[in-house]
Amino acid sequence: MKKIILLLVFLLNIQFAFSQSIQLSENAEVSIITVGPGKVLYEKFGHSAIRIKDRSLNIDRIYNYGMFDFNAPNFYSNFTKGRLIYKLAAYPFHYFVKSNNEDKRWIKEQVLNLPPEQNQAFFTFLNNNAKPENANYEYDPFFENCATKMPDIVQQILNNKVSFTEDFVTKKQSLRQLMNDEIHWNTWGSLGINVALGSKLDKIVTAKEYMYLPDFVFKSFKNAEYFDKNQPKQLVLKENTILNFKEITPEADAISPLLVFVVFMLIGFFITFKDVKNNTRTKWFDFLLFFITGIVGLLVVFLWFFTNHSTTPNNFNFLWAFALNLIVAFYLLKNNPPKWVRKYVLLLLVLLFIIPIIWIVKIQLFAFSLLPIFILLLVRYFFLQKNLLTFHE
């Protein structure tokens, strides 16, 4: 279905680009469309789009700012570098409904309370945006996405005469907390996102910044006011439910990070116990532990310093995923590692003790599923720091 939509986009955008000459009738409607979460990771947060409908002219189009193409040139390298290009696509609304019906995602509609000239302004603006030369934009999952486009476009077209409600903010939260409410904490997707993103995500945000999530766009529009000739009126005329599926609730992965990490921690405890008992050191296990944390640390450094992602800098996951571990791992394969390695391990212990402070004061929240790894690292580092010199001697 999604491949069909992409083909339609290619064929129909050419036609829609010339739609500025069409004059909508007085029966036209502009609506904000909100879609419930889907099953795959990039669908977990829901979706927002704009619908323009005119029965008199047989027009019913969705303007979707959430289109991207996995097969686009350099897609994966651009994604890694934080230069992911999304585009606005305009196509018949019934294809949009059919796609979400197949995925069993609910759709709600908020019809805007606008005069004909403002409906026409939306139609002209969106068709101009849908032209191939205007359709692309640089996507940011928190600050420039399909949901943030909704209030921005409405304010732009209505000359900042809209007052959005903030009563949906019941408690002060950060972008990370809002994100973690949408995806189950015990999934590999959640773990990957939380490890990759830095402390910028942990600042308490304004009501407007909540609207990077479609649910909050819906809530904010619900009681928003539009000032027409200096007189306030409700921005939303009516609400419709187009698809009424039960919302897909987040679930843990069958083979979850916590399960894997607890098993790994118990294996590490067993190996360390045997090493203490036999006065030995299992070199391959130390190599594995340092090599893995070093690889993750290298990824943290890369995302922090060498990409354009807005939320990857200042990432305190480096406190446990230390990039230099990648090099030290090879020294730990030796029977007698250099004496400086013991001091290096002491540094790693100090860094580990900083993590709970950072976590408690909410400078940065860490993935809960990492707790077994933190405990294992603490135990193994204590063992190495105490015994490396003995093995060296």
**One digit per residue, pLDDT tens: the chain, 393 residues?**
554 454 555 545 555 545 557 899 999 999 999 999 999 988 999 999 999 999 999 999 999 999 987 666 666 566 666 678 899 999 999 999 999 999 999 999 999 999 999 999 999 999 999 999 999 999 999 999 999 999 999 999 999 899 998 888 988 999 999 999 999 999 999 999 999 999 999 999 999 999 999 999 999 999 999 988 788 999 999 999 999 999 999 999 999 999 999 999 999 999 999 999 999 999 999 999 999 999 999 999 999 999 888 999 999 999 999 999 999 999 999 998 999 999 999 999 999 999 999 999 999 999 999 999 999 999 999 999 988 766 554
Q: 76 to each of 136, 271, 301, 310, how far by Cα in Å?
A: 17, 39, 19, 17
Q: 234 to each of 54, 100, 196, how far by Cα in Å?
A: 21, 29, 41
pLDDT score for 27: 94
What gap in Å lies between CA 258 and CA 373, rounded to an integer?
A: 9
Contact 119, 158 (CB under 8 A): no
Q: In terms of DSSP bridges, do strands 59-67 and 85-92 run parallel, antiparallel, or are they unpaired? A: antiparallel
pLDDT score for 4: 47
Q: 124 to each of 60, 68, 70, 71, 367, how far by Cα in Å?
A: 15, 23, 29, 30, 45
What gap in Å lies between CA 297 and CA 317, rounded to an integer?
A: 8
What gap in Å lies between CA 66 and CA 227, rounded to an integer?
A: 29
Token pair of 346 as six digits = 């002491």
pLDDT score for 393: 45
Contact 29, 52 (CB under 8 A): yes
What gap in Å lies between CA 356 and CA 179, rounded to an integer?
A: 21
Helix 146-157 and helix 116-129, axial crossing angle in degrees, nearest 10: 130
Token pair of 362 as six digits = 């909410």
What gap in Å lies between CA 348 and CA 325, rounded to an integer?
A: 9
Looking at the DSSP assignment, which residues form a beta bridge with residue 29? 53
